[in-house]
Structure 1
Amino acid sequence: MLSQDDLKSAEKFSTKTHLFLSLNNLAPTPVNYSVGYIYVSKNHQQLAQAIDQKSHDNKPIDTAFIEEMFNQYLSNSNSIQHDILEPFFASLTDTLQRIDHQVTNDQQLSNNLEKVSSALVKLDNHHSVQDIVSYLISSIKSSHQQHQSLSKKLEKTSSEVNQLKNKLQESQQEAFLDSLTGLLNRRGGEEKLKELALEDQHSSLMIDIDLFKNFNDKFGHFIGDKVLQRVAKVIAESVDKEDLTMRFGGEEFLVVLVNKAKSEASLIAEKIRHAVNSLKLKQRQTKITLPPISVSIGIAEVEEDQHWDDLFKRADDALYRAKNTGRNRCVVA
């Protein structure tokens, strides 16, 4: 819920935004409005510098440029919805409600005047009054039509705002996922970790594909990517829905097993290791079967860690020991 101060601040910046759009002959679409609002409110230094530089170079600030600014600086911003779209949507909703209320009042008044007009028709000595009533009815009907037209335009804008909110949510989801494997990337993992309490009982798996470079060197990066995808699929299918699985970098994966002790984590790690080792991959063109795939896994449980990185460091140290003692094995920290 927005406070009164939030709304007043939003109204102030909204006025400046409309001036910015007007000066640059830009339609007040949600994308244009969002970029303009962030610019006039000075909430994004890089965006402001880019627009100022454009003005300094006497180059047009057109729709294409605004779209570029939105995609580059705002499409993944978590603050866009709270700082811009919510106040904008609240203002639209309030305006629509006011218009609907006015339309209802106009309709009631028009109905009452129609009754008065019908009554006056029956009287011969009230023509002047009847003319006034007829004029009022005509004016109210015209006002009613204008309100309906404005209401439709505002409803269209409201729909565009909702579409923009959906677009932002999709962009944020994409920004949190690794495009190759579909798992969380490091940024996405960091966001999800904010929802967990470190003091609860969690365990971590640090997983690395053994001798992965050999797949790239011998079969090419396309096959290497397929290996990554298959291993990622095995990991995702081996854990629960509430657990976090992310591609930590290169051929390394990180799993946070939510509310699970290291004893259960060890069983899950062995399940993953065995499933990966059982994969059979064949090169489509040559029909050559790839060498067996294996992973080494380090396991750690939350102890008195101050940060998630402390937990991950112990899991990584255990992974290092697994690598140094023969690979294709799980080691508990």
Structure 2
Amino acid sequence: MSEQEFKLALSYANAAMKLLKRCEIPAYPHFYELLYTYATGVNVPLNARMNELFRSGQPLTTDVVEALCVEFLKSYDVNERITNVSERMHARIESVNDAIDTAMLTAESYSGSLKVASGDLDRGVSADDLKSMTRQLLSETQHMQKTNSNLEDQLEASREDISALQRDLEEVRRESMIDSLTKIANRKSFDESIDNAVEDAVRTGEPLCLIIVDIDHFKTFNDTFGHQTGDQVLRLVATTLKANIKGRDLAARYGGEEFMTILPTTDIAGAVIVAENIRKAIHAKELLKRSTNEKLGRITASFGVAQFMPSDTSASLIERADRCLYAAKNSGRNRVVSEQELAKIIAA
């Protein structure tokens, strides 16, 4: 990178950071990327949209920036990033193959020259012919050394590129397991994690519990206050879940307004305590509309808690936790129902 390019990139970075600070937007990587892209001016539709927002006087809130990220940033397209890594890997492999082919042809030519020289020496050559032969072999040896050196350079570059590609693939893999809105594990990650947790519980005999969380009256809330505020609610619940688990526990967005929490090495009594802590923490938070600071009230959620049994599969454990959730919904919402409590409710 030239000094001019460095200064230009730095000016874009400074402009992005100033905009983040001025609008009081958290400096999350994807927010920074969006505003850096805006500063460069390379994404014409993005710049048109943001300039329109600035002209209208609408505040650049976190919700607005989040929506712009989803709409305009290509980094959200995991499939595209995987394709890009694949193409780079293919180009590097082709480059190495070309270098290997060249080295093999040079080696074959060199071997042929050595055989010819060996035959000439066996028949006897004059001093002048010997000098000429020596010069030719020296020239071909130098060419061979140069070809081998080029091959070594290509292999070294490939080693570095492959290491970088492996890091990129791992980053893409991690991102593919994260829900883009809430920044916790997504359904794909949950499906993989619950299967692994069940296998571990079977192997070790340790307890395992599952909590299903569903936001109460979310559709009504979403329709009343709008999708951006609904997204804020989803992020709030996700953050609360993540703040109340630890170690090997996993919080995931299962779909829509439903969340899952996997609690390895936790029995049903401990899982109920965790669920109650989360329920109280969600209910304790008062929701504000960021654009106006209008108080929108409090949100609540219902919880179903089930403990793994030796005969369980992932599906049967989810099904039993889901039954507990529906019992919580049907008995007034904003409560935790475990399997033990469900049995009491059914008996009553």
Same fold (TM over 0.5): yes
Runs of 4+ in 1 over 4 A off after TM superposition: 70-77, 125-131
Partner of residue 22, structure 1: none
Question: What secondary structure is seen at the aligned counterpart in 2 of 1:312?
Answer: helix
Partner of residue 227, structure 2: 221
Question: What secondary structure is seen at the aligned counterpart in 2 of 1:281?
Answer: strand
Question: What secondary structure is seen at the aligned counterpart in 2 of 1:320?
Answer: helix
Partner of residue 230, structure 1: 236
Partner of residue 207, structure 1: 213
Partner of residue 175, structure 2: 174
Paired with 2:180 and 2:291, the residues of 1 have a C-alpha distance of 25
Question: What do residues 175-217 of structure 1 show as CA deviations (whole Å, max 9, x unaligned)?
Answer: 2221111222222211223433242410010111111123212
Question: What do residues 208-263 of structure 1 show as CA deviations (whole Å, max 9, x unaligned)?
Answer: 11111232122100000001001101101111131122111111101110111011
Deviation at 1:130, TM superposition (A): 4.9
Partner of residue 136, structure 2: 135
Paired with 2:138 and 2:226, the residues of 1 have a C-alpha distance of 79
For normalisation by structure 1, the TM-score amounts to: 0.60
Query: Given that residues 178 and 184 in structure 2 are in contact (C-alpha distance below 8 angstroms), is that contact kept between their aligned partners in structure 1?
Result: yes
Question: What do residues 8-67 of structure 1 show as CA deviations (whole Å, max 9, x unaligned)?
Answer: xxxxxxxxxxxxxxxxxxxxxxxxxxxxxxxxxxxxxxxxxxxxxxxxxxxxxxxxxxxx
Query: Given that residues 183 and 246 in structure 1 are in contact (C-alpha distance below 8 angstroms), is that contact kept between their aligned partners in structure 2?
Result: yes
Paired with 2:83 and 2:277, the residues of 1 have a C-alpha distance of 39
Paired with 2:171 and 2:328, the residues of 1 have a C-alpha distance of 39
Query: Given that residues 75 and 171 in structure 1 are in contact (C-alpha distance below 8 angstroms), is that contact kept between their aligned partners in structure 2?
Result: no
Deviation at 1:264, TM superposition (A): 0.8
Paired with 2:134 and 2:222, the residues of 1 have a C-alpha distance of 86
**Residue 309 (structure 1) aligned with residue 315 (structure 2):** yes
For normalisation by structure 2, the TM-score amounts to: 0.58
**Residue 319 (structure 1) aligned with residue 325 (structure 2):** yes
Structure 1 143/160 Cα, relative in aligned 2: closer, same or farther at 3 Å?
same
**Residue 243 (structure 1) aligned with residue 249 (structure 2):** yes
Deviation at 1:331, TM superposition (A): 1.1
Counterpart code for 1:140? T
- Taking only aligned residues, the RMSD between alpha carbons, in angstroms, comes to 3.5
Q: Which runs of 5+ in 2 are unaligned?
A: 1-77, 111-125, 340-348
Question: What do residues 259-316 of structure 1 show as CA deviations (whole Å, max 9, x unaligned)?
Answer: 1101111111111111111112211232211211111111111123331111111111
Question: What secondary structure is seen at the aligned counterpart in 2 of 1:290?
Answer: strand
**TM alignment of 1:36-185, pairs within 5 A:** 71=79, 129-185=130-186
Paired with 1:311 and 1:193, the residues of 2 have a C-alpha distance of 9
Paired with 2:325 and 2:174, the residues of 1 have a C-alpha distance of 30
Query: Given that residues 76 and 172 in structure 1 are in contact (C-alpha distance below 8 angstroms), is that contact kept between their aligned partners in structure 2?
Result: no
Identity of aligned residues (%): 31
Structure 1 range deviating more: 200-209 or 222-231: 200-209
**Residue 257 (structure 1) aligned with residue 263 (structure 2):** yes
